[in-house]
């Protein structure tokens, strides 16, 4: 099976940079995704890493180190609307590539 660990809560102020870490255990790693979810809303895809390195998409970047079974999501120039839950999700070849979600990190952005 797979397991993921990410912090339960992170707080920051508007305009700041925040990093949300994710460590995972899996037998046949295939890729790591990041999703954003506002209260009561649908998870929305942010980023995906299958290879080591940094992927940048606007204010959001995601990093992966397969050797360390570790990834992070970097959010820059934080805005109030970024307050949401952020989930890392691992895809495992043994699990038919179905994303398994972590417990989520609640990001609270203060003015």
Partner 1 sequence: AAGVIQSPRHLIKEKRETATLKCYPIPRHDTVYWYQQGPGQDPQFLISFYEKMQSDKGSIPDRFSAQQFSDYHSELNMSSLELGDSALYFCASSLGLAATGELFFGEGSRLTVL
Residues that bind partner 1 (CB under 8 A): 31, 33, 40-45, 48-50, 87, 91, 95-104
If the CB atoms of residues 39 and 111 are measured against partner 1, the closer one turns out to be 39
What CA–CA distances, in Å, run from 1 to 15, 91, 96, 105, 108? 38, 11, 11, 21, 31
If the CB atoms of residues 58 and 111 are measured against partner 1, the closer one turns out to be 58
If the CB atoms of residues 73 and 91 are measured against partner 1, the closer one turns out to be 91
As a whole number of angstroms, the distance between CA 48 and CA 79 comes to 22
The distance of closest approach from Cβ of residue 58 to partner 1 in the complex, given in angstroms and rounded to an integer, is 15
Give, as one character, the DSSP assignment of residue 67. Answer: T
């Amino acid at each position: 099976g797979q397991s993921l660990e990410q912090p339960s809560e992170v707080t920051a102020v508007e305009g700041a940079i925040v990093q949300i870490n994710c460590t995972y255990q899996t037998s046949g790693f295939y890729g790591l995704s990041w999703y954003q979810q506002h209260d009561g809303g649908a998870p929305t895809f942010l980023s995906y890493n299958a290879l080591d390195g940094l992927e940048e998409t606007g204010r959001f970047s995601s990093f992966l180190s397969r050797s360390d079974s570790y990834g992070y999501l970097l959010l820059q120039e934080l805005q109030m609307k970024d307050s949401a839950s952020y989930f890392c999700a691992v895809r495992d070849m043994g699990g038919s590539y179905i994303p398994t979600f972590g417990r989520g990190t609640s990001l609270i952005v203060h003015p």
